[in-house]
Amino acid sequence: MLDDTDRRILRQYQAEPGAPVADLAARAGVTPSTWGRRLERMERAGVIEGLEAVIDWRALGYEITVSLRFTLDKTVPRAFEDFLEAARAIPEVLELQTFVGRVDVRLLLLARDMGHYQRLYREKILTLPHIVDIDALMHIAQIKNEDRLPL
Protein backbone atom coordinates (compact mmCIF):
# COMPACT_ATOMS: atom_id res chain seq x y z
CA MET A 1 0.00 0.00 0.00
CA LEU A 2 2.76 2.45 0.95
CA ASP A 3 5.71 2.96 -1.36
CA ASP A 4 9.21 4.24 -0.66
CA THR A 5 8.17 7.84 -1.31
CA ASP A 6 5.42 7.57 1.33
CA ARG A 7 7.90 6.17 3.80
CA ARG A 8 10.39 8.94 3.10
CA ILE A 9 7.64 11.50 3.62
CA LEU A 10 6.52 9.92 6.89
CA ARG A 11 10.10 9.73 8.16
CA GLN A 12 10.62 13.46 7.60
CA TYR A 13 7.17 14.38 8.86
CA GLN A 14 7.47 12.53 12.16
CA ALA A 15 11.02 13.82 12.68
CA GLU A 16 9.94 17.47 12.65
CA PRO A 17 6.20 17.96 12.12
CA GLY A 18 6.35 21.70 12.81
CA ALA A 19 8.91 22.48 10.09
CA PRO A 20 7.83 24.42 6.96
CA VAL A 21 6.32 22.19 4.27
CA ALA A 22 8.81 23.41 1.64
CA ASP A 23 11.73 22.24 3.81
CA LEU A 24 10.15 18.91 4.67
CA ALA A 25 9.25 18.22 1.04
CA ALA A 26 12.83 19.03 -0.03
CA ARG A 27 14.23 16.68 2.63
CA ALA A 28 11.94 13.91 1.37
CA GLY A 29 12.96 14.68 -2.23
CA VAL A 30 9.45 15.57 -3.44
CA THR A 31 7.68 18.76 -4.51
CA PRO A 32 5.43 20.53 -1.97
CA SER A 33 2.37 19.57 -4.00
CA THR A 34 3.33 15.88 -3.96
CA TRP A 35 3.98 16.22 -0.24
CA GLY A 36 0.51 17.63 0.34
CA ARG A 37 -1.22 15.09 -1.87
CA ARG A 38 0.53 12.11 -0.28
CA LEU A 39 -0.12 13.31 3.28
CA GLU A 40 -3.77 13.80 2.50
CA ARG A 41 -4.01 10.31 1.04
CA MET A 42 -2.32 8.77 4.09
CA GLU A 43 -4.68 10.70 6.37
CA ARG A 44 -7.68 9.37 4.48
CA ALA A 45 -6.26 5.83 4.67
CA GLY A 46 -5.91 6.18 8.46
CA VAL A 47 -2.13 5.78 8.39
CA ILE A 48 -1.75 9.31 9.77
CA GLU A 49 -4.19 9.73 12.62
CA GLY A 50 -3.44 13.30 13.54
CA LEU A 51 -1.10 15.93 14.82
CA GLU A 52 -1.01 16.73 18.51
CA ALA A 53 0.65 19.31 20.71
CA VAL A 54 3.13 17.88 23.22
CA ILE A 55 2.53 19.31 26.67
CA ASP A 56 5.40 19.63 29.12
CA TRP A 57 3.74 18.87 32.44
CA ARG A 58 6.79 19.97 34.37
CA ALA A 59 6.29 23.50 33.05
CA LEU A 60 2.82 23.32 34.62
CA GLY A 61 4.22 22.29 37.99
CA TYR A 62 3.87 18.51 37.77
CA GLU A 63 7.27 17.33 38.98
CA ILE A 64 6.41 13.68 39.59
CA THR A 65 5.63 11.02 36.99
CA VAL A 66 4.94 7.45 38.07
CA SER A 67 4.13 4.24 36.19
CA LEU A 68 1.67 2.33 38.33
CA ARG A 69 1.41 -1.32 37.34
CA PHE A 70 -1.55 -3.36 38.47
CA THR A 71 -2.55 -6.98 38.67
CA LEU A 72 -6.33 -7.29 38.76
CA ASP A 73 -8.64 -9.94 40.17
CA LYS A 74 -9.55 -11.81 36.97
CA THR A 75 -12.17 -13.94 38.76
CA VAL A 76 -14.37 -10.82 38.63
CA PRO A 77 -16.03 -10.75 35.19
CA ARG A 78 -15.96 -6.96 34.76
CA ALA A 79 -12.66 -6.32 36.56
CA PHE A 80 -10.97 -4.53 33.63
CA GLU A 81 -13.99 -2.44 32.65
CA ASP A 82 -14.70 -1.34 36.25
CA PHE A 83 -11.06 -0.55 36.91
CA LEU A 84 -10.54 1.43 33.71
CA GLU A 85 -13.77 3.37 34.15
CA ALA A 86 -12.76 4.43 37.66
CA ALA A 87 -9.19 5.25 36.56
CA ARG A 88 -10.46 7.49 33.73
CA ALA A 89 -12.19 9.65 36.34
CA ILE A 90 -8.84 10.60 37.91
CA PRO A 91 -7.66 13.77 36.10
CA GLU A 92 -3.98 13.13 36.93
CA VAL A 93 -4.04 9.85 34.95
CA LEU A 94 -2.41 10.58 31.61
CA GLU A 95 -2.27 7.13 30.01
CA LEU A 96 -4.01 3.79 30.48
CA GLN A 97 -2.67 0.60 28.93
CA THR A 98 -3.74 -3.03 29.16
CA PHE A 99 -1.34 -5.93 28.60
CA VAL A 100 -0.77 -9.62 28.23
CA GLY A 101 1.93 -10.48 30.74
CA ARG A 102 2.56 -10.23 34.44
CA VAL A 103 1.08 -6.73 34.48
CA ASP A 104 -2.60 -6.35 33.58
CA VAL A 105 -2.92 -2.56 33.51
CA ARG A 106 -0.55 0.38 33.65
CA LEU A 107 -1.50 3.91 34.57
CA LEU A 108 0.77 6.88 34.02
CA LEU A 109 0.11 9.26 36.90
CA LEU A 110 1.20 12.88 37.32
CA ALA A 111 1.63 14.64 40.67
CA ARG A 112 2.83 18.08 41.70
CA ASP A 113 5.18 16.80 44.40
CA MET A 114 5.65 13.83 46.73
CA GLY A 115 2.95 15.04 49.12
CA HIS A 116 0.47 15.33 46.28
CA TYR A 117 1.50 11.89 44.98
CA GLN A 118 1.00 10.32 48.37
CA ARG A 119 -2.48 11.85 48.64
CA LEU A 120 -3.45 10.70 45.15
CA TYR A 121 -2.07 7.24 45.83
CA ARG A 122 -4.00 6.80 49.06
CA GLU A 123 -7.23 8.46 48.12
CA LYS A 124 -7.63 7.76 44.40
CA ILE A 125 -5.39 4.83 43.46
CA LEU A 126 -5.73 2.41 46.36
CA THR A 127 -9.50 2.82 46.18
CA LEU A 128 -9.69 1.64 42.53
CA PRO A 129 -11.70 -1.59 42.20
CA HIS A 130 -10.44 -5.20 41.86
CA ILE A 131 -6.73 -4.60 42.58
CA VAL A 132 -4.70 -7.65 43.60
CA ASP A 133 -1.24 -6.11 43.40
CA ILE A 134 0.42 -2.77 42.56
CA ASP A 135 3.97 -1.74 41.93
CA ALA A 136 5.28 1.70 41.14
CA LEU A 137 8.12 2.87 38.92
CA MET A 138 9.10 6.44 39.66
CA HIS A 139 10.37 8.18 36.53
CA ILE A 140 13.74 9.83 37.11
CA ALA A 141 14.88 10.78 33.64
CA GLN A 142 13.59 10.52 30.11
CA ILE A 143 16.48 9.25 28.00
CA LYS A 144 14.63 8.81 24.72
CA ASN A 145 11.09 9.81 23.93
CA GLU A 146 10.49 10.00 20.26
CA ASP A 147 7.34 8.06 19.82
CA ARG A 148 8.50 7.52 16.26
CA LEU A 149 8.15 4.40 14.19
CA PRO A 150 11.32 2.93 12.63
CA LEU A 151 10.16 3.39 9.02
Partner 1 sequence: MIELDDIDRQILRALARDAGQSAGALGRDLGLSQPATWRRIRRLTDAGVIRGKRVRLNAERLGFGVTVFLGVKLARKGQVTLEDFERAMSAIPEVQTVEHVLGVYDFRLRVVARDLADFERVLRRRIMALPGAGEVEANVLLSEERRPGPLG
Residue 5, SS3? helix
Query: In the complex with partner 1, which residue's Cβ is closer, 26 or 96?
Result: 96
**Contact flag: residue 62 with partner 1 (CB under 8 A):** yes
Which part of the chain contacts partner 1 (CB under 8 A), choosing from 29-37, 71-79, 85-93, 124-132?
Answer: 85-93
Round to whole Å and give the CA distance between 89 and 125: 11
Pick from 13, 35, 83, 117 the residue near partner 1 by CB under 8 A: 13
> Phi and psi dihedrals of 91, rounded to 5?
-60, -30
**Contact flag: residue 138 with partner 1 (CB under 8 A):** yes
Round to whole Å and give the CA distance between 8 and 34: 12
Instruction: Give the CA-trace dihedral at 17, 22, 25, 27, to 10 degrees.
Output: -90
Chain residues binding partner 1 by CB under 8 A are 2, 10, 13-14, 17-18, 45-57, 59-62, 67, 84, 88, 91-103, 106, 110, 135-151
